[in-house]
Amino acid sequence: MFEGLLYNIIIAFESIAQNKTRALLTSLGIVFGVSSVIAMLAIGKGASQEIVEKLKILGTNNIIITGLDKKEFKKSQDVANIENEEEGSNSPTQKQKFSPGLAIQDGEIILKTLPNVTRFSYETVIDLNVRNNRSMKQASLVGIDPNYFDINSITTVSGRKFADLDHVRGNRVCILGSNLAKRLFPTEKPLGKKVKCGKIWLEVIGIASQKSASGSIKNLPGIRNVNQDIYTPYNTLKIYFVRRDVVNSSDLRRDRRRGEESPSTKKEKFSQIDKLIIEINDTEQMVSSSPILRKLLLRLHNNKEDFKIIVPELLLEQEKSTKQIFNIVLSVIASISLIVGGIGIMNIMFSSVMERTKEIGIRRAVGAKQGDIRQQFIIEAVAISLSGGIIGIFFGLAMSFTIEQITEIKTIVSLDSVLISFFVSIGVGLIFGITPANKAAEQDPITLLRYE
């Protein structure tokens, strides 16, 4: 039995060798189908991994509240005024009321009011030039509170975090993002060195851990490339750089000259802080807590919606759903390529049966059984399909790498996807090779020998 199988394999491969070009062209459908399947599975796995990375950056239980700048706030006010006009409301517009903007006090009141809030954190960001004695780079200086690193899962790979006294006294110290540290100090250790942020020198006491910062993550609301940031205590930022919670006489004079109603609009960013991060103790309460937070903040801000609430988990779930639908559509298209390739194999095998009628008749005449003929043609079909599958696997790996390099879409090729493609190519050969093999095996030997 084994000798008969080996003999059929040899005959099948001899036939393929005699028609190399035809076999290669026949397998192209399988090549493109398998490579597409591998690439699509790699994109899907990369997307899933990216969702996990985003959750690590944003925090699984965090709700982000950001202050609106002038343009965003004006747009939201225009929409609110249109809605009031449509409803026929005669109530005074929100523009006549004063709001202090997003502030630290908002976080304190939220913590006291909502029992499911465990803690909060905040940040204020200014863009400036950072330099040492040799080079200058653009970066974001982030003023943070003591909870910031813990809530955002940021660790230091070297040096230390800010001590309590650093926050209380507003010490001139900083922690560099990993990429910024490499760019400012490519050949030396930055710990203990000083960097000039704007006009102020800060001592480097630590280096933050590397965080994923692919294109889609950076474009998510509330996310920056944290590897390019430089962190300092909030009090340090307030003392030496900017303090938005204080209005001085020059601000008032400028507002009067411009005819502005209140000093709260004197800057593009009139919120006292840029972002509040609220930590919820139960993930299931994330979505339900959002409208409660909105109502509370509206009350604190005199019904001015000069803030935006972002529920990262909800955004990521929507993104995950969209990517899954996209991957399913692409996988269906890739599967169609495999079906077309299988039909091509079936077509070629039917042609091969017609061309080799005499050969089949001679084999049957010298003692070959129907099973031998059937086995020979199935082996040919599987061999063509499998060779296309193996080539397709290499094309799929190359395609996945190329997609990641050109588009910055993360791709992960797993062993599972390679094995699936391998067995699918075998299955296509079997399924589409059975019918031509049966036709070859079931013909009458005498009729075959008479065929000219």
Task: Give 3-46 pLDDT, tens digit per residue.
Answer: 667 766 777 777 777 777 777 787 888 888 888 888 888 887 77
pLDDT of residue 31: 86
Q: Helix or strand or coil: residue 156?
A: strand
Please compute, for residue 258, the number of CA atoms within 13 A of its CA located in the half-sphere on the CB side: 13
Give the tokens for residue 181.
């540290």
Q: Which helix (H) or strand (E) holds 429?
A: helix 415-441
Q: Per-residue pLDDT for 265 more than 60?
A: no
CA 171, CA 149: separation in Å to the nearest integer? Answer: 17
* Residue 236 contacts residue 173 (beta carbons within 8 Å): yes
216 confidence band (pLDDT: 50, 70, 90):
very low
pLDDT on residue 266: 41
Q: What is the DSSP letter of 90?
A: -
pLDDT bucket at 302, cuts 50 / 70 / 90? confident
Average pLDDT (391-404) is: 88
Q: How would you label 272-299 residue by residue, b for 16+ Cβ within 10 Å and e otherwise?
A: bbbbbbbbbeeeebbeebbeebeeebbe
> Is the pTM value of this prediction over 0.85?
no
Is the per-residue pLDDT at 167 higher than 80? yes
At residue 410, the 3 state secondary structure works out as: coil
Question: Phi and psi at residue 67, in whole multiples of 5°?
Answer: -80, 140
Q: How far apart are CA 271 and CA 68, in angstroms?
A: 7
Contact (CB, 8 A) for 237 and 73 = no
Q: Which two tokens stand for residue 385?
A: 């399909």
| Choice among 49-58, 238-247, 399-408, 413-422 with the minimum mean pLDDT | 49-58
Give the relative orientation of helices 20-58 and 312-355 as an angle to the nearest 10 degrees. Answer: 170
Collect all residues with Cβ–Cβ distance below 8 Å to 182 and sequence separation of at least 6.
Answer: none
**Total Cβ atoms within 10 A of residue 39:** 24
CA distances from 46 to 22, 30, 41, 49, 401 (A): 37, 24, 8, 5, 12
The average confidence (pLDDT) of the chain is 78
| SS3 per residue for 319-331 | HHHHHHHHHHHHH
CA-to-CA distance for 209 and 227, rounded, in angstroms?
8
The answer for 222, left when phi > 0, alpha when psi is -120 to 50, beta otherwise, is left
pLDDT higher than threshold 70 for residue 400: yes
Confidence of residue 381 (pLDDT cuts 50, 70, 90): confident
Radius of gyration of the chain (CA): 34
CA-wise closest residue to 151 among 223, 57, 265 = 57
Q: Per residue in 305-327, pLDDT tens?
A: 888 888 876 666 666 666 677 66
**Helix spans in 194-273 (H):** 215-218, 234-240, 249-258
Give 183 or 366, the one with higher predicted confidence: 183
**Mean pLDDT within 61-67:** 85
Band of the pLDDT at 247, cuts 50, 70, 90?
Answer: low
- Average pLDDT estimate for 331-352: 79
Least confident of 143-157, 187-201, 235-249: 235-249
Provide the pLDDT for residue 249. Answer: 54
